[in-house]
Structure 1
Amino acid sequence: MLTLGLVLNTVGIGLLCWLIVALAIYALPFFVALNIGVLALHGGAGIVGALLVAVASGALTLAAAQFAVAFSRSMTLRIAIATAFAVPAAVAGYHVALALSQIGGPSPVWREVFACLGAVCIGGSAWTRLTVFAETRRLEPAGGGGDYGSTGSHRRIA
C-alpha cells in the first residue's frame, strides 16, 4: 500500500507540474477575463452575462496577441507582447514552485531557489509557446530585393 501511495503521489505531482507548464500562457488572458468579468458583474450584466463577457475577453486577448506576434514585422512589438505574457506566467510559476517546495520541507533558501527556477522555467515556457507562431524571417540588406547592392554590379550569376 505504501508503494502504491508513493507512486500515485509522484504521478499526481508530475501531472500537476505538466498542467502548470501547459497552462502558463493563459495567465494574462485569465487575468484580463477575470477583471472584465468582475466589471461586467458590477455593471449589472448578471452572472451568465459576466461569464460570457469574461470568456470572450480572455479568448480575444489570447487570439489578438498570437495574431500580433505572428504577423508583426516589428521585433520590439513582438518582444513587448511576449513579455506581457511571460511576466504573469513567471509570477504564477514562482508561487506554484514555492508552494510545491514547501511540501518537502527544505530550508527557506532552497525554497527560494526552487521558486526562482520555477519562475524562469514557466515564464520561458509561456514566452516560447507564444512566439512559436511567429514567422522567422531571414535578414535582408537595407536595399531590399535580395541582391547584394543597389547598383546591381554585385548580383549573383544564376
Structure 2
Amino acid sequence: MLFTLAVFALPFFAAVTAGTWAYGTGAGWLGAILVGFVAAGLTFGLGQLLLATVRPTWARLLIAAAFVAPAVVAGFHATHGIVKHTMPSEAWQTAFSIIGAIAVGIVAFACITGMAASSPVAGHVSDT
C-alpha cells in the first residue's frame, strides 16, 4: 500500500496545502475539503498531461522528480516509523529508513513513468 500511495504524495501535499489555505480564509470544512480534492486532481492531472506531451528527456525527468521527491520523503518517514519499533540502534534505523526511501522512490518513479507511457500521446493514433 505504501508503494501505491507514494505516487500520490505530491497531489496529497498539494491538497493539504490548498485545503488548509481555504479553511484559513473562511471556506469552512466542506469548502476546504472540496478545494483539497480539486487541487489534488489538478496536480495529478497536470503532471500526467505534462509527462505525456513534453518531449525533452531532461524536462520529463524534472517533472517525474517533482512527483518522486515527496514520495521519497514519505517513504523515509514511513520506513522510519516501522523500524523505530523493531530495532534499538538509531544508526540502523536511519540506514533502513534510507533503504526504504530509495525503494519507494524507485517504485514511484516506475509508476509515474509507466502511467505516462501508457497514456495516449496527443495526435497519435494506434494501429489496433
Q: Report the TM range for the smaller structure's normalisation.
A: 0.7 to 0.9
Task: Read off the aligned partner of 1:42 and give its amino acid letter.
Answer: G
Does 1:113 pair with 2:95?
A: yes
Q: Larger relative CO (CA 8 A, sep 6+): 1 or 2? A: 2
The answer to whether the 8 Å contact 1:33/1:54 transfers is: yes
Count of paired positions: 118
Once superposed, what is the RMSD of the aligned Cα atoms?
Answer: 1.5
TM-score by length of 2: 0.85
TM-score by length of 1: 0.70
Structure 1 spans left out of the alignment, 5+ residues: 1-18, 137-158
In our comparison, the structure showing a higher alpha carbon Rg is 1
Q: Deviations over 1:44-70 (max 9, x none)?
A: 212111110110110110011011112
Higher helix share: 2
Does 1:101 pair with 2:60?
A: no
Q: Deviations over 1:19-78 (max 9, x none)?
A: 111100111111111111111111121211111011011011001101111221121221
Residue among 114, 118, 124 paired with 2:106: 124
Structure 2 spans left out of the alignment, 5+ residues: 119-128
Q: Deviations over 1:106-152 (max 9, x none)?
A: 4222111110000001111111111113349xxxxxxxxxxxxxxxx
Taking the TM superposition and a 5 Å limit, the aligned residue runs for 1:30-41 are 30-41=12-23
